[in-house]
Structure 1
Amino acid sequence: MTEAGPTEAGAPTGKAARELLAQAERLLDTARAVRADHARAVEAVHTALAPLLDSLIRRELSAIPVSRLKDVTEGRLRLGAVEQAGFTNVGQVHEANRYELRQIPGVGAQTADQALAAAGQIAHAVRDTVAVRIEVDTPDDSTTALVTALHRLVEAGPDVRRAVDAAVRLIGTLEPLLTAAGPARGRLRMLFARRPARAEALAAVASVRTVVAEAVARELLLLFGQVSVDLLREPESDVTAWVDFELRSAEYYSLLAELSGTGPDRAAAEGFLPTGIADRVRGLRLDDAHLRVSLRGYQSFGARFALAQKRVILGDEMGLGKTVQAIAALAHLSARGETHFLVVCPASVLINWAREVRARSTLRALPVHGPERQGAFTEWRESGGVALTTFDALHTLPAARDCGMTPGMLVVDEAHYVKNPATRRSRAVSGWTQRTERVLFLTGTPMENRVEEFRSLVRHLQPELAPSIHTTHGAAGSHAFRKAVAPAYLRRNQQDVLTELPALVQVDESVEFSEGDLDAYREAVGAGHFMRMRRAAYARPATSAKLHRLLELVAEAADNSLKVVVFSYFREVLLTVEHALGEGAFGPLAGSLPAARRQEIIDDFAAVEGHAVLLSQIQAGGVGLNMQAASVVIICEPQIKPTMEHQAVARAHRMGQIRTVRVHRLLAADSVDERMLNILARKERLFDLYARRSAVAETTPDAVDVSDGALARRIVEEEQLRLATGADGTVAAAPEN
């Protein structure tokens, strides 16, 4: 007679039940382990953070006069004797103890207790306002300990949050079920248990089976095990942690803000939305199962705003990650069963969208443009994924009414492109917005001073809201405007939400060669001219994809009143940019200019109120000049010497800079740009980046860079082979210096 066998309730009994419960115990143990490992990792951050915060708080309190203690007690506290005893600031009182204060003549127990309590209240308030800044250039033992502790959690990635959340839910579910299922662990226990206890045990076993089956389907055991390993793994060295911090500093600061509770003001991070809308957005839980990136708090809120309000404009200032917020919304919908998404954007950013979707999520990105766009569209319609198309291509594709399916969400990047309803691109977008339930418009252009333009965009999304938007709302200021348009608009500014981020954000802007660009590039490759290959993207300005993207970035910076520095190795490229920008650009700075004249140009640039553009050769702007008036840096092409690029960026990203610096490096896909980056990336990353911070690297760039000639010759040969040029046996010209 076997022990196993189903009951009337369908629950396993005997040996089958015991095996199931043992499996559940193992699952529960791994869940408890990952929760404990995470708790230890978090505690290590708090331990490293505490002395840094204490130091900041002491510094702040030492600057507050002791008389401010009266304000806390509404004037009831008598401090004359305390002040006469030499206590001049709140910090001194806060660090004193009750016995020490009572030794002061005229200070009794009540006064001492009130003074300490008041100092404690002020210290608590200060604690909520200070934020730790991690200085890469001046690391010490305390900040190294913090970076190392954060490194463990950052390196473990977004799986940590999913694993811990799943572990907490599993523990809460399994623990009471296993307790209730106790009698089912043995035949005798079930035999002598009362009937209600047996029934409860069998019901619990049935529930355990369901929970275990779900955990197996979600591969939680594997997830818990991998995350525990990641959380227990020590960094190879302190240098490794510091290098990783440089590469992913935004993730470190985001995690630090989350764990320390010193993030941005919540109202600002939520775009000063009315309470009702903000509460509804907060109530939506973002499913990040298909995301490959950890979101900052304000980014998570932005994605949830798009999901909760369904048809909205996300108008965050440039540099806040509108693209990743859109991808997070798509990933959430994908996790909930949606299969098709459509992104419409300018041609200049389509390749970036493809790379961001693939890098930031598990979603399938499918470019739908160029001569094969009809076939790609058909493939998307049949197989799903994120279709990426351009404004100019959209009207050539089947209309939404003829598509036979509806996207889970339509995203329109640079949405101000459809402000004029009479244009062909606006009509094409409108056809899709009318048939799609969820629509997200992205634009970095502030709308407060463009009320008519905003009203036009809202007509695509929430036409019933458009008539209630008046020009007086914009004239009344940003807060009044945002309150009026809150159901359809969310905008956050850098100064409001980047308090937890470092002052440098770097973005690679990949573009595809236009036909004219490709012709110029082929000519340069065929001639074997390395330097001409590097500047070929600007050889034909009328059709230059890089120049077009550069002008878009400058225009967006102008809309946000930000100053821009444009760097190139080539004076010829800078003159092309200057001509395209028209009058008003400063420079270009060049090595032939006397140092005094160069500084004069920079001073004039800094003195301009609001937006301005400065052009500079990278070798001239990279040494001895301070450009911290600029918060947007555009690098026209990658540099052979990475240190040259680093030094140039450091001219803007240095002490005195009060805004986040956003660096855009323009890269042409499948070109010398990518070949250079791939070769340079193969160098020993730790040594390269560690040396980059050293005094030797600052003064001797050649110390950590590869040979110009060797790099040039190798790239020319590879490109000639790839483009099938020079294949007739002729010897290509020597690379130009």
Structure 2
Amino acid sequence: MEEAGETETGARTTGAPTGKAARELIARAEQQLDAARAVLADHTRAVDAVHAALVPLLDSLVRRELAAIPVSRLKDVTEGRLRLGAVEQAGYTTVGQVHEANRYELRQIPGVGAQTADQALAAAGQIAHAVRDTVAVRIDVEAPDESTTALVTALHRLVEAGPDVRRAVDAARRLAERLEPALTGASPARGRLRMLFAGRETRAAALAAVASVRTTVAGAAERGLPLLFGQVSVDLLRHPESDLATWVDFELRSAEYYSLLAEMSGVGPDRDAAAGFLPSAMADRVRGLRLDDSHLRVSLRGYQSFGARFALAQKRVILGDEMGLGKTVQAIAALAHLAARGETHFLVVCPASVLINWTREVRARSTLRVLPLHGPERQAAFAEWQGGGGVALTTFDALHTLPAARDGGRRPGMLVVDEAHYVKNPATRRSRAVSGWAGHTERVLFLTGTPMENRVEEFRSLVRHLQPELAPSISTTRGVAGSHAFRRAVAPAYLRRNQEDVLSELPALVQVDEWEEFSGADLDVYREAVAAGQFMRMRQAAYARPETSAKLNRLRELVAEASRSGLKVVVFSYFRPVLTTVREALGATVFGPVTGDVPVARRQELIDEFSAVDGHAVLLSQIQAGGIGVNMQAASVVILCEPQIKPTMEHQAVARAHRMGQIRTVQVHRLLAADSVDQRMLDILARKERLFDAYARRSDVAETTPDAVDVSEGSLVRRIVEEEQLRLATARTEIRPSGLRGT
């Protein structure tokens, strides 16, 4: 009885249950373990399916490459020691032919002995291995076949499951590692008799194991792992609706498919390029930082993960990636990591034109709380942020009105400054305001697409905000030495990657919705058009007052950023007056506009002249005239001034640039006005059957006659006008006592 008493005492001491309570606990633990094992098994099957579809495609690419390599290159591998005269005379003229042969076949050749045959095969194998490390599968949406369809379908499961897959698999592995040995050790605690007759050490070990099981089970439940495992398993087992649905999804999210494909195939960007050619010791230290993505809702590409980790490891830096590589999502990933580690307050400063985009991006790509600090209510919003935390978003012009950290304000866990070249002049008010916050914030991240090696003085000015001790060592000779040398010299404070260095799957399509708020003047024009029921005026209202137009201002910024990177831009609008306004607003090399009145031959001449420009240029085109029958693959930035009633018209216009022959990622920026006809159109069109639209878009009929597949324009127009009239009438009624906001 003494041992029984000790068991009970031991149970009370450790708090570990025995008997029925232990059995119930162990049963729950076994259920969690089964769910974890199921996720791992489902993920393994999904990955195996990708490899099964990928291997034949890679083999085919390798064979094609080897077939173009002369057999004489085998000598290079053996440093000239291999004698191949007899092999060549026997008809083996390429490395591919040797690689496909076997030892017996080669030994049948007169004059070829066992050693020569073995050396030739080994050399061919080495070349094949090297080739396999360099080839990349290109998925052609214009010519899908059985093999690529199988690959896209296999990838679809993992893409559709999203970033939860990685979190679930990592959590499942850790849970299994903890529960498997703990459950084995806790087995004696299932019954009181077993515990009664067990030795003292066995009882103590069992009770300790039960306590470990209980802690692990409780922790898993608190983190919602059982639900996560169940959801991910369902996602990984879900079949796509059809091959067509899979291809449609690939077109919409090709970057995610290619990112996963690079990971699965082991073929990605060069490690040095992905690290922005940082010194190896620094790059290794950055890679060693584990990024916590538990607050992210999106999967990062490898170079994006590196960028977020660079910002976290170096603390005060400039992320200068080329336009279109996702600087915003890298910043959000850094904020999400810090939030997972206990930080609660973050501050983002940006131009007013991208404030809405930042709001939407943070909400869409993370679980972080967002509070815009803009407009007449910004002080109240600032107080709410100070008390409750989250990601505060404000503008350069509003920042100086907020109490800085040095004045008793809350210090953010990270300060992010978008379009940081706005603060290159230290004498400006915006620069002084940013400097005030940066000086009292441990982690500061500047974002700019401007290549700093071409603007060394600007770079030195920005570095003074971040690492003033580094600024004196930055000289113009650094830039003259070339971009790679410059990046290595300023590595502690600067990371830049170019598209051609890190996007191996070119051409890809990156689509961004640029949301803007009406200025007061724009809003007046818009309200008049809505009251009059003039749908076309409603669509153009955002450009009616060029001097205050928010859309036009954002368009200028996008063109300026493209200019700094030497990229060509095509601007599409349905409306000639809008294109005229854009032409007058741009100070760049502008061609066009291409309109319906321009003869087809002249249209192509304009496009050829635009394409022949060395570096940046802008082409303006009516979307109806530039959408069919012309090729604009010289452009890698497409700006849509407004959404279109007929989605096929947008798709066809974008396809003029994003097509075979394009060698750069195509960035599509669609300018949208919040709470307007733009938003109503997108909401209504989004409710249509996506698969039908996509099928129609991919058909030959849609390519030539878009009217045949779009919704009734008349009914759509009437519905939008009526909804906007009702919304604005309701808004005026609700806010009349205090006056119209925004006017």
Aligned to 1:367: 372
Separation in 2, partners of 1:726, 1:345:
29
Conservation of the 8 A alpha-carbon contact between 1:69 and 1:119: yes
Which of 619, 624, 632 aligns to 1:627? It is: 632
Aligned to 2:570: 565
Runs of at least 5 residues in structure 1 that lack an aligned partner in the other structure: 729-737
Separation in 1, partners of 2:408, 2:517:
28
Runs of 4+ in 1 over 4 A off after TM superposition: 1-5, 725-728
> Which amino acid counterpart does residue 686 of structure 1 have in structure 2?
L
Conservation of the 8 A alpha-carbon contact between 2:424 and 2:458: yes
Which of 9, 13, 37 aligns to 2:42? It is: 37
Separation in 2, partners of 1:564, 1:404:
42
Aligned to 2:319: 314
User: Which string of whole-angstrom CA distances, capped at 9 and with x for unpartnered residues, describes residues 494-527 of structure 1?
Assistant: 0001114652111111111111111111122122
Give the 5 Å matches for 1:316-715. 316-500=321-505, 502-582=507-587, 584-715=589-720
Runs of at least 5 residues in structure 2 that lack an aligned partner in the other structure: 734-743
Aligned to 2:237: 232
Give the 5 Å matches for 1:296-311. 296-311=301-316
Relative to structure 1, the CA distance from residue 245 to residue 726 in structure 2 (aligned partners, 3 Å threshold; closer, same or farther) is closer
3-state SS of paired residue (2:492): helix
Separation in 1, partners of 2:689, 2:681:
15
TM-score under structure 2 length normalisation: 0.96
- Could you tell me the percent identity over the aligned residues? 83
Separation in 1, partners of 2:672, 2:218:
48
What is the deviation of 1:20? Answer: 2.2
Conservation of the 8 A alpha-carbon contact between 2:451 and 2:564: yes
3-state SS of paired residue (1:541): coil
User: Which string of whole-angstrom CA distances, capped at 9 and with x for unpartnered residues, describes residues 184-237 of structure 1?
Assistant: 333444344443333222222222222122112112112112211111111122
Relative to structure 1, the CA distance from residue 8 to residue 382 in structure 2 (aligned partners, 3 Å threshold; closer, same or farther) is closer
Which of 78, 85, 94 aligns to 2:90? It is: 85
3-state SS of paired residue (1:678): helix
What is the deviation of 1:178? Answer: 2.1
Conservation of the 8 A alpha-carbon contact between 1:567 and 1:617: yes
Aligned to 2:295: 290
3-state SS of paired residue (1:486): coil
Separation in 1, partners of 2:676, 2:732:
18
Separation in 1, partners of 2:451, 2:333:
23
3-state SS of paired residue (1:302): helix
Aligned to 1:164: 169
> Which amino acid counterpart does residue 263 of structure 1 have in structure 2?
G
Q: Which moved more, 1:14-23 or 1:222-231?
A: 14-23
Separation in 2, partners of 1:558, 1:193:
78
User: Which string of whole-angstrom CA distances, capped at 9 and with x for unpartnered residues, describes residues 536-563 of structure 1?
Assistant: 1111100011110000000000000001
TM-score under structure 1 length normalisation: 0.96
> Which amino acid counterpart does residue 367 of structure 1 have in structure 2?
P
Separation in 2, partners of 1:309, 1:583:
37
> Which amino acid counterpart does residue 94 of structure 1 have in structure 2?
H
> Which amino acid counterpart does residue 57 of structure 1 have in structure 2?
V
Relative to structure 1, the CA distance from residue 727 to residue 182 in structure 2 (aligned partners, 3 Å threshold; closer, same or farther) is closer
Q: Which moved more, 1:118-127 or 1:522-531?
A: 522-531
Give the 5 Å matches for 1:86-101. 86-101=91-106
What is the deviation of 1:687? Answer: 0.9
Conservation of the 8 A alpha-carbon contact between 1:254 and 1:501: no
Separation in 2, partners of 1:104, 1:85:
7
What is the deviation of 1:639? Answer: 1.1
Q: Does 1:186 align with 2:191?
A: yes
What is the deviation of 1:94? Answer: 1.0
Separation in 2, partners of 1:583, 1:447:
21
Aligned to 2:13: 8
Aligned to 1:102: 107
Conservation of the 8 A alpha-carbon contact between 1:313 and 1:489: yes
3-state SS of paired residue (2:460): helix
Which of 26, 29, 36 aligns to 1:21? It is: 26
Separation in 1, partners of 2:498, 2:475:
23
Conservation of the 8 A alpha-carbon contact between 1:273 and 1:482: yes
Q: Does 1:64 align with 2:69?
A: yes
> Which amino acid counterpart does residue 621 of structure 2 have in structure 1?
S
Separation in 2, partners of 1:258, 1:243:
22
User: Which string of whole-angstrom CA distances, capped at 9 and with x for unpartnered residues, describes residues 287-317 of structure 1?
Assistant: 1111000000000110111111111110000
Separation in 2, partners of 1:54, 1:218:
43
What is the deviation of 1:177? Answer: 2.0
Conservation of the 8 A alpha-carbon contact between 1:410 and 1:439: yes
> Which amino acid counterpart does residue 410 of structure 1 have in structure 2?
L
Relative to structure 1, the CA distance from residue 586 to residue 501 in structure 2 (aligned partners, 3 Å threshold; closer, same or farther) is closer
> Which amino acid counterpart does residue 274 of structure 1 have in structure 2?
P
Conservation of the 8 A alpha-carbon contact between 1:41 and 1:153: yes
Aligned to 2:160: 155
Conservation of the 8 A alpha-carbon contact between 1:262 and 1:500: no
Instruction: Calculate the aligned-residue CA RMSD, in Å.
Output: 1.8
Separation in 2, partners of 1:225, 1:503:
33
Q: Which moved more, 1:335-344 or 1:12-21?
A: 12-21
Separation in 2, partners of 1:693, 1:139:
12
3-state SS of paired residue (2:13): coil
Give the 5 Å matches for 1:185-224. 185-224=190-229
Separation in 2, partners of 1:697, 1:274:
51
Conservation of the 8 A alpha-carbon contact between 1:625 and 1:651: yes
> Which amino acid counterpart does residue 408 of structure 1 have in structure 2?
G
Relative to structure 1, the CA distance from residue 259 to residue 4 in structure 2 (aligned partners, 3 Å threshold; closer, same or farther) is farther
Aligned to 1:731: none
3-state SS of paired residue (2:182): helix
Separation in 2, partners of 1:109, 1:702:
70
Separation in 1, partners of 2:175, 2:723:
54
What is the deviation of 1:400? Answer: 2.3
Conservation of the 8 A alpha-carbon contact between 1:256 and 1:500: no
Q: Does 1:276 align with 2:281?
A: yes
Q: How many residues align?
A: 728
What is the deviation of 1:73? Answer: 1.0
